């Protein structure tokens, strides 16, 4: 198992290195001079000295390789540059915005697992019953509903018509735990429902497949109750493909976090990325891209480890 994790870790590092280079190259390939494009309309572009000044300030006058070397050296030492947009250190900015996003992800995952797995299990057990049809329809809606619409409807329902929750905003947990939870309920729900629907469908089909396996019949023949059969024999193997889905869902959540953070006005990494893209804020964009990569790699690693735990056949093969 240790060797297995080691190999995976090495893979992850290689990919990270490649992405780092790629991120830098992509930034170079962006049409136009990023900083200048971003500043168009706000500085007098006919003022050559002003343009030159800006280029120099962001090191755009240096050869590309030098720019890359400089950038990488600074990046690994935690100097991620200064945001063009806010004048803040990108590293500080990133760290401050990490916790709302992590909280969002975590909450969304809890919703997603909390709804998706039980719904999937019930759907599989009561296959083709009214309950199953209701759940399948519900999960279909969960998957296909435009999250933007869902968010606005929920805000109007639960913050305007029945003013139970705040419509938007973020309060750190340690500042006001209760308000924090209240304000995170809707965003995490909206972010979670999409993957919950997906998860429910995967759990249902995976569990149905497992329940059709011979070893489940063996377990029944041992005298286990249906519930014991599911808990002791079916869930673990059924979770193997589901773990992948959870991992994928988590990795894709940053995409969802983009708009959930925008809609619910949560100062997290997703919104920071959106702002950075719109403002062509290069240092922030680079940090974001690497963070996205890291997130995906870490999740993949976690999924691999979980796989190893769930499926002994994989553990030995490596």
Query: Which residues here bind other proteins, judged by CB under 8 A?
Result: 31-32, 37-39, 41-44, 46-47, 49-50, 53-54, 57, 84-88, 93, 96-97, 128, 152, 155-156, 159-160, 163, 166-170, 212-215, 217-225, 232-233, 236-237, 240, 262-265, 267, 271-272, 274-275, 279, 310-313, 316
Residue (9 or 88) nearer to other proteins, CB:
88
Please give the biggest Cα pair distance in the chain: 85
Phi and psi at 82, nearest 5°, equal -115, 135
Could you tell me the smallest distance in angstroms from the CB atom of residue 179 to other proteins?
A: 12
Using DSSP, how many helices (H) and how many strands (E) does the chain show?
14, 0
**Minimum CB–partner distance for residue 52 and other proteins (Å):** 10
Output 236 or 318, the one with its CB closest to other proteins.
236
> In terms of CB distance, is 298 or 311 closer to other proteins?
311
3-state secondary structure 41-96: CCECCCCHHHHHHHHHHCCCCCCHHHHHHHHHHHHHCCCCCECCCCCCEHHHHHHH
Least distance from C-beta 18 to other proteins, angstroms?
29
- Nearer to other proteins among residue 192 and residue 267 (C-beta): 267
Neighbours of 83 (CB within 10 A): 22
109 or 259: whose CB is closer to other proteins? 259
Q: How far, in Å, are 3, 127, 194, 210 from residue 204 at the CA level?
A: 33, 9, 16, 10
Q: How far is the CB of 280 from other proteins (least distance, A)?
A: 10
Compute the least distance from the CB of residue 242 to other proteins, in Å.
Answer: 13
Count the residues in the chain: 318
């Amino acid at each position: 198992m240790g060797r297995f994790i080691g190999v995976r870790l090495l893979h992850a590092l290689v990919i990270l290195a490649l992405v780092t280079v790629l991120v830098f190259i992509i930034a170079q390939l962006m049409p136009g001079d990023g900083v200048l494009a971003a500043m168009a309309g706000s500085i007098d572009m006919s003022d050559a000295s002003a343009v030159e000044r800006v280029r120099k300030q962001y090191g755009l006058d240096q050869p590309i390789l030098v720019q890359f070397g400089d950038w990488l050296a600074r990046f690994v030492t935690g100097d991620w540059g200064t945001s063009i947009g806010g004048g803040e250190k990108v590293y500080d900015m990133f760290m401050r915005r990490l916790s709302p996003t992590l909280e969002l992800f975590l909450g969304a995952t809890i919703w997603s697992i909390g709804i998706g797995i039980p719904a999937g299990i019930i759907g599989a057990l009561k296959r083709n019953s009214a309950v199953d049809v209701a759940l399948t329809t519900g999960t279909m809606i969960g998957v296909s509903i435009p999250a933007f619409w869902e968010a606005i409807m929920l805000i109007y329902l639960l913050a305007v018509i029945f003013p139970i929750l705040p419509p938007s905003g973020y309060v750190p947990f340690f500042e006001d735990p209760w308000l924090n939870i209240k304000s995170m309920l809707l965003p995490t729900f909206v972010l979670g429902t999409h993957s919950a629907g997906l998860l429910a469908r995967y759990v249902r089909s995976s569990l149905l497949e497992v329940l059709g396996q011979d070893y489940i019949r063996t377990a029944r023949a041992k005298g286990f109750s249906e519930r014991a059969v599911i808990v002791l024999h079916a869930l673990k193997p059924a979770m193997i493909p589901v773990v992948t889905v959870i991992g994928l869902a988590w990795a894709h959540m940053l995409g969802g976090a983009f708009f959930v953070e925008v809609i619910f006005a949560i100062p997290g990494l997703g919104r920071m990325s959106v702002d950075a893209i719109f403002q062509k804020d290069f240092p922030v964009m680079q940090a974001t891209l690497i963070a996205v990569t890291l997130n995906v790699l870490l999740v993949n690693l976690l999924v691999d480890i979980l796989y190893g735990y769930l499926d002994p056949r994989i553990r030995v093969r490596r």
